[in-house]
Structure formats: C-alpha cells, structure tokens
Amino acid sequence: MLKNKRITVTGGKGFLGSHLLKTLKDYGYRHITIADRPEYDLTDIADIRRMYEETRPQIVIHLAAKVGGIGFNQEKPAELFYDNLIMGTQLLHEAYLRNIEKFVALGTICAYPKFTPVPFKEEDIWNGYPEETNAPYGLAKKMMLVQSQAYRQQYGFNSIFLLPVNLYGPGDNFDPRSSHVIPALIKKCFDAIDNHSDTLEVWGTGAATREFFYVEDAAEAICMAMNAYNESEPINIGAGFEISIKELTELIAKLTGFQGKIIWDKSKPDGQPRRMLDTTKALKEFMFTAKTNLTTGLIKTIDWYKENRHLIK
C-alpha cells in the first residue's frame, strides 16, 4: 500500500540510512529522498522547512543523529543532548504542521534506565534514570517518544517510536574517536596485527553485557514497522540475545586473527551493566524477528573492513 508514497529518510547517507535505502528499494518503494548533510542541517529550522518544501514527503523516517561510544559521550554531552533534541523536536513538529501521513522516529536503547531488568521491556522505559555516560543522548532521543504520544493525543498525528539496540555491520563507523564497541574492536585488532603488537588494550572490565543487532536486520525491521505499526507506544527492535564484552572481544580477536593478550583497562567505565531487549512486541505487532546470528554478522563486517580500510581515514 505504501509503495507509491514519497518517503524521506533523514540521515540517509549514514550507516543505518544507507542500508535502509537499499532495503526500501528491494521492497519496491519507488519515491525515496535523502535529507542529510551537507544539503540540510537538521538542527537548523530554516533547513528543515526547506527540506520539507523540496522533498514533499508523505512519510518521514528520522534516522539522523549525533552519536558515539562511551568516550565521545563523555567528551560531548551537551552537543549530543542539544543536536539530537532539536532535530527530533523540530522535524516532528514541522511534519505535523504539514499533515505528513506518518513519522517514524528512531530512538535508542540508551533511553532505558541504568538498572532496567533484563530483558528490557517497553513498559520499563520510565522506571529510572539512564546510565550516566549516555544519559544526555538517551534522554534527548526519548523526548521524541513524549512528543509522539502528545501529538497523537492532541492532534491525532500518526508517529511511531522504535527502540533499536546497538547496531553493527558493513559500513559502520570505524573512527576511534566516535565508534561503538564492535568497529572499535575490529580496528584495534587489525592495528595490533599491522604493528606486530602482542597486546590489545580494551576499556573496562569486560563484564558488561550487550546485545548487537545486524544493520540489515534493523533496516528490515524499520520497513516492516513503517508498513504495519501505527501506535505511539514504544517498540523494541533487536536480536534478542546478550554477550559479555569479554566474550565479544575474544570472538572478534579470533575472527580477525589477532593472537596476542587482551589487557583490560579497569580505570575506564564499563557503561550500562547489562543490555538486552525483549523483542516479543515487534514479533506480535509486525512479525519481525532477526535473521543474522552474531558470528555471521561479524564475519561480514570484518570482511567489509578488510576490503575498505584503506579508504577509511
């Protein structure tokens, strides 16, 4: 039913955005535009209004975000809060003013409280404050949930709010200043091999657990939700498993061929103690279940990095 709709994807040049564009085209969507830098600065209301006038979307999928790992979160908390808050708030409000048919907002697992019972259920999202190192980012993104529900209640505006867990896959961000754990570990392993180093230093204790969601699966989940979900209650999308950072590091070392010793810098933070989503609602509401197991996804990501690392600054 949506194949002929005009769809605008914010952040369409980014990691998730590039995979989502491919998935949308594979599904047969014909009219897709991208709203991203440098053409549009989505923290600038004038650029947002110009974007809506030029792309004339009927559906908006808002992926654009300023995001990074623990170090980046500690270095840039104010920017992470402001940029993400202002993008989401203004994009959704201007979408309402233009009678956009549907607004798909991507939140983050960082919106959940620090000590959420595992697996994280959507109804627990307000039961505490997020983990301190990523709270400004997580809370800024979570305000789209408040706005989505308020605008549906008062205006009948159709927006949905998806909560993806940590993404990874081909085309990920491998910049050590802002990358997440999987691309950071892959790069560290290859750098150690190149430098003939017999040690690999990793932040934290390795005890924290995470769930990792292969990016192509995430793109499919977004398409399915766009098609079939029309409520403002938040909905988790993920892979439904958890692995410790220690186990993950050992697995990536094995897959990349690094055979040295892993040294844990316990002076650095672990971040949230545990993360894993309850994804039963996504299965119930739009029949989504992740297809890609972690080892398969890591091999694809590592292969991509090997082929493209010479192009990465």
Q: Is 298 a domain residue?
A: no
**Residue 168 annotated among the catalytic residues of the structure:** no
Total domain count, the chain: 1
Q: What is the pLDDT of residue 12?
A: 98
Q: Which amino acid is at 173?
A: N
Q: What is the pLDDT of residue 313?
A: 66
CA distances, 24 to each of 7, 138, 198 (Å): 10, 27, 44
Q: Is 184 a domain residue?
A: no
Question: Per-residue b/e over 32-61, b at no fewer than 16 CB within 10 Å?
Answer: bebbbeeebebbeeebbeebbeebebbbbb
What residue has token string 């040049």?
A: 13
Contacts of 184 (CB under 8 A, 6+ apart): 69, 174, 176
Q: Is 193 a domain residue?
A: no
Residue numbers of the domain that contains 58: 6-169+212-240+276-291
Q: State how far the Cα of 158 lies from the Cα of 5, in Å rounded to an integer.
A: 15
The two structure tokens encoding residue 136: 């400004």
Q: Is 148 a domain residue?
A: yes
Q: What is the pLDDT of residue 1?
A: 66
Q: Is 101 a domain residue?
A: yes
Q: Is 311 a domain residue?
A: no
The residue from 40, 137, 168, 214 that is catalytic is 137
pLDDT, one tens digit per residue, over 59-83 is: 999 999 998 777 888 999 999 999 9
Q: Is 263 a domain residue?
A: no
Q: Is 179 helix (H, G, I), strand (E, B) or coil?
A: coil
- Those residues of the chain that have pLDDT short of 50 are none
Question: Per-residue b/e over 146-170, b at no fewer than 16 CB within 10 Å?
Answer: ebbbebbeeeebbbbbbbbbbbbbb
Q: What is the pLDDT of residue 271?
A: 85
CATH (domain of 132): 3.40.50.720
Q: Is 262 a domain residue?
A: no
